[in-house]
C-alpha cells in the first residue's frame, strides 16, 4: 500500500502485479483477501492507487472485477514464464507414480486437495502416491494418520530432487479448489507428467486439452483421473510438455512486462 501511495503523491507511475490470494474470496476454505475486513480494504486501496495492474491469468482478471470491483479492461493479463530446467523430454517411461506438490498445512488440505489426494491412494494400491512440500503445521500428522502404505511424504526437497520426481512420475495431480495459475502443474508438464486437475481457477488455462479433468476433488474422482492418465502414451506426455514450452516461455513474459512498463512511462511523459 505505502509504495503505491507514495508513487501517487509524487506523481510517479506504478505497476502492480496482483493475483491469487489478493483477489480470492473463498470463506468456505478461509482463503483470500477479499473475504472482508481490513485486508480487503487495504488490498483494494492498493490496487486502485496503481497506475497499471497486471495479473497472471484471465481467471484472475475476472476475479478482480467480481471480488475487488476493478473493471477487467483495467487489468492486463501476462502469464507466468516457466523455465525449462529439464532441457529435453525424459527418455524413460514414467513410473506408476502420482505426484502432487505444495506446502503441507491445514489450509492446503482442501485448497490444494492434499487430503483427498492421500485418501485416493487407498483406492489404487498398485500406484505410488507422493506428496512433496514443507511441513508447516500439524497437517502432516493428520495426513499420515489417514494414509495407506503406498503414500510417501518427502517434506521439502531441493530443486534437483524435485526435478527428479517430475521426471520419474507419469501423473501430476492438482485437485485444487482455487488456483491463480498453477506453477507446479506447468513444471510437472515440462517434466513429462500428464496433469490430472480440477477446473478450479486458472488450471484450464495452463492445461487446456493436454490433461485429464476431474469433476471434483473427491478421492474417487482423483483415483479415476489417475487411472485414465496412466493409460496415456508417451505422445500425450510430450504434448503436455510442448504446451508449456510454446505458451509460457520466460521470454514471452519478459517482453510483455517490459512493454507495459514502456507504455506506462510514455503515458506519463505525455501528461
User: Average pLDDT, stretch 167-172?
Assistant: 94
User: Average pLDDT, stretch 52-73?
Assistant: 96
* Full-model pTM: 0.92
User: Average pLDDT, stretch 6-11?
Assistant: 93
pLDDT at residue number 270: 58
Provide φ and ψ at 192, rounded to 5°.
95, 15
Angle, CA of 98, 102 and 108, to the nearest 5°: 105
Q: Is the predicted pLDDT of residue 234 greater than 90, yes or no?
A: no
pLDDT at residue number 55: 97
pLDDT at residue number 271: 56
User: In whole numbers, what is the pLDDT of the chain averaged over residues?
Assistant: 95
User: Average pLDDT, stretch 173-180?
Assistant: 97
User: Average pLDDT, stretch 53-60?
Assistant: 97
pLDDT grade for 95, boundaries at 50, 70 and 90: confident
DSSP string, the chain: -HHHHHHHHHT---EEEE-GGGT--BGGGTB-GGGSHHHHHHHHHHHHH-SEEEES-HHHHHHHHHHH---GGGEEE-PPP---SS-S--SSPPEEEEEEES-BSTTHHHHS-HHHHHHHGGG-TTSEEEEES-B-STHHHHHHHH--TTEEEEES--HHHHHHHHHHEEEEEE--S--SS-HHHHHHHHTTPEEEE-S-TTHHHHHTTSSEE-SS--HHHHHHHHHHHHT--HHHHHHHHHHHHHH--HHHHHHHHHHHHHHHHHHHHT-
Percentage, residues of the chain above pLDDT 70: 99
pLDDT at residue number 89: 81
Residue 93 or 87, more confident: 87
Provide φ and ψ at 19, rounded to 5°.
155, 175
User: Average pLDDT, stretch 64-73?
Assistant: 94
User: Average pLDDT, stretch 121-145?
Assistant: 98
CA nearest neighbour of 2 among 67, 71, 60, 49: 49
User: Average pLDDT, stretch 160-169?
Assistant: 94
Q: Are 220 and 113 in contact (CB under 8 A)?
A: no
Q: Is the predicted pLDDT of residue 119 greater than 60, yes or no?
A: yes
Amino acid at each position: 500500500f505505502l509504495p503505491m501511495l507514495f508513487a501517487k503523491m509524487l506523481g510517479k507511475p506504478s505497476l502492480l502485479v496482483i493475483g491469487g490470494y489478493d483477489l480470492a474470496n473463498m470463506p468456505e476454505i478461509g482463503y483470500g483477501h477479499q473475504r472482508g475486513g481490513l485486508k480487503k480494504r487495504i488490498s483494494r486501496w492498493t490496487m486502485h492507487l496503481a497506475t497499471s495492474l497486471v495479473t497472471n491469468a484471465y481467471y484472475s482478471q475476472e476475479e478482480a472485477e467480481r471480488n475487488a470491483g476493478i473493471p477487467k479492461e483495467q487489468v492486463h493479463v501476462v502469464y507466468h514464464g516457466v523455465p525449462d530446467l529439464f532441457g529435453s523430454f525424459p527418455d524413460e517411461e514414467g513410473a506408476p507414480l502420482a505426484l502432487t506438490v505444495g506446502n503441507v498445512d491445514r489450509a492446503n488440505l482442501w485448497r490444494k486437495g492434499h487430503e483427498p489426494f492421500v485418501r485416493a491412494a487407498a483406492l489404487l494400491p498398485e500406484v505410488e502416491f507422493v506428496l512433496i512440500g514443507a511441513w508447516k503445521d500439524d497437517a502432516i500428522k493428520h495426513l499420515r494418520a489417514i494414509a495407506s502404505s503406498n503414500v510417501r511424504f518427502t517434506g521439502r526437497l531441493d530443486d534437483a530432487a524435485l526435478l527428479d520426481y517430475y521426471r520419474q512420475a507419469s501423473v501430476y495431480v492438482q485437485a485444487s479448489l482455487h488456483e491463480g495459475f498453477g506453477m507446479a502443474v506447468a513444471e510437472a508438464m515440462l517434466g513429462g507428467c500428464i496433469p490430472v486437475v480440477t477446473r478450479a481457477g486458472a488450471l484450464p488455462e495452463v492445461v487446456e486439452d493436454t490433461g485429464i479433468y476431474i469433476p471434483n476433488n473427491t478421492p474417487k474422482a482423483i483415483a479415476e483421473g489417475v487411472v485414465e492418465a496412466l493409460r496415456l502414451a508417451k505422445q500425450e506426455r510430450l504434448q503436455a510438455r510442448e504446451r508449456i514450452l510454446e505458451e509460457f516461455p520466460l521470454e514471452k513474459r519478459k517482453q510483455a512486462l517490459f512493454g507495459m512498463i514502456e507504455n506506462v512511462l510514455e503515458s506519463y511523459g505525455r501528461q
